[in-house]
């Protein structure tokens, strides 16, 4: 006789249920590469190497995901990036 | 025009020819009267999704006023430095306190973006082709290159 497997209710922690958001920076032919790198270092606290890698991704691929996490913080990052006149948007992670 | 660091608390651009000094002095007025194209570029949408209307409305109501204020305050700082520009033998010196460098970076970027929108410079920039200075667009390209040089000097100084 096969044992009956009892279905347990699935509970998710807050972190699992809240969707993650990406902070995306888009290419802009006007902003200087050195300036964009400086902004990434300042806003996200990234090393020069990491900031430069993201800057090159923006330049070559048209966009780069700079950060992923909760919406409130993502909005704050986009706000800061707009303050530096970069083209930045929020998007749900996984889209 | 050359970049110089006179002491620990200032940087400066010196040997600025009169025409260029005039062009710098025009910055606050130019940015004080933004075209609708430039305005759109300065305040982009925070989302690309078609269904993000609520976020966009929220952004306009709560975030954009702060950005307006920040851009305006950077312009005021730059305008004050420009008013203090000194002249000797028909060459000008622009002294920038260290704590004004961020405002300058922001305003130089505002100018380059506004010019790019107003004169559709996007694809032209970086081609290194000599601009035709008999046209307003050619002058805008030259201005943009001067502002780019100034931005590069300030960014390198901060690095």
B152 is written with which tokens?
A: 């590069």
Residues A19 and A69: their CA atoms lie apart, in Å, by: 8
Distance from CA of A13 to the nearest CA of B (A): 26
Residues 19-58 of A with CB under 8 A from B: 29-32, 34-35, 38, 48
Q: Which pLDDT value is given to residue B151?
A: 97
The alpha-carbon gap from A89 to the nearest alpha carbon of chain B, in Å, equals 4
pLDDT at A2: 47
Judge whether residue A11 has pLDDT over 70. Answer: no
Name the nearest CA neighbour of A66 among A34, A32, A23. Answer: A23
The predicted structure's pLDDT at residue A13: 52
The model carries a pTM of 0.88
Percent of all residues in chain B with a pLDDT value above 70, rounded to a whole number: 96
Nearest CA of chain A to the CA of B124: how many Å? Answer: 9
Q: What six digits make up the tokens of B156? A: 């390198």
Q: B35, B113 in Cβ contact below 8 A?
A: no
Q: How do residues B36-75 score in pLDDT, each as one tens digit?
A: 999 999 999 999 887 788 889 999 999 999 999 999 999 9
Using the beta-carbon criterion (under 8 Å), do B159 and A38 form an inter-chain contact? Answer: yes
* A41: nearest CA partner in chain B: B159
CB contact under 8 A, A85 and B47: no
Mean pLDDT of A74-85: 97
Residue B14 has pLDDT above 90, yes or no: yes
Q: Is the pLDDT of residue A87 over 50?
A: yes
């Amino acid at each position: 006789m096969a044992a009956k497997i009892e279905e347990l209710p699935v509970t998710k922690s807050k972190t699992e249920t809240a969707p993650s958001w990406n902070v995306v920076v888009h290419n802009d032919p006007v902003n200087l590469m050195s300036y964009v790198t400086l902004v990434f270092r300042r806003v996200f606290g990234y090393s020069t190497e990491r900031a430069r890698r993201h800057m090159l991704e923006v330049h070559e691929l048209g966009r780069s995901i700079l950060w992923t996490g909760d919406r409130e913080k993502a909005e704050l990052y986009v706000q800061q990036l707009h303050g530096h006149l970069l083209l930045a948007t929020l998007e749900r992670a996984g889209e | 025009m050359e970049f110089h660091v006179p002491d620990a608390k200032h940087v400066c651009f010196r040997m600025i020819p009169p025409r260029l000094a005039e062009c710098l002095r025009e910055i606050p007025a130019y940015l004080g009267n933004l075209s609708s194209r430039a305005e759109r570029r300065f305040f982009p949408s925070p989302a690309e999704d078609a269904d993000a209307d609520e976020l966009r409305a929220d952004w306009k109501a709560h975030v954009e006023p702060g950005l307006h204020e920040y851009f305006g305050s950077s312009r005021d700082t730059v305008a004050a430095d420009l008013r203090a520009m000194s002249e000797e033998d028909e060459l000008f010196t622009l002294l920038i306190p260290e704590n004004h460098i961020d405002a300058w970076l922001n305003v130089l970027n505002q100018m380059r973006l506004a010019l790019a929108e107003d004169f559709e410079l996007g694809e032209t920039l970086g081609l290194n082709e000599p601009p035709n200075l008999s046209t307003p667009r050619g002058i805008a390209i030259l201005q943009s290159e001067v502002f780019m040089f100034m931005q590069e000097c300030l960014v390198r100084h901060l690095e």
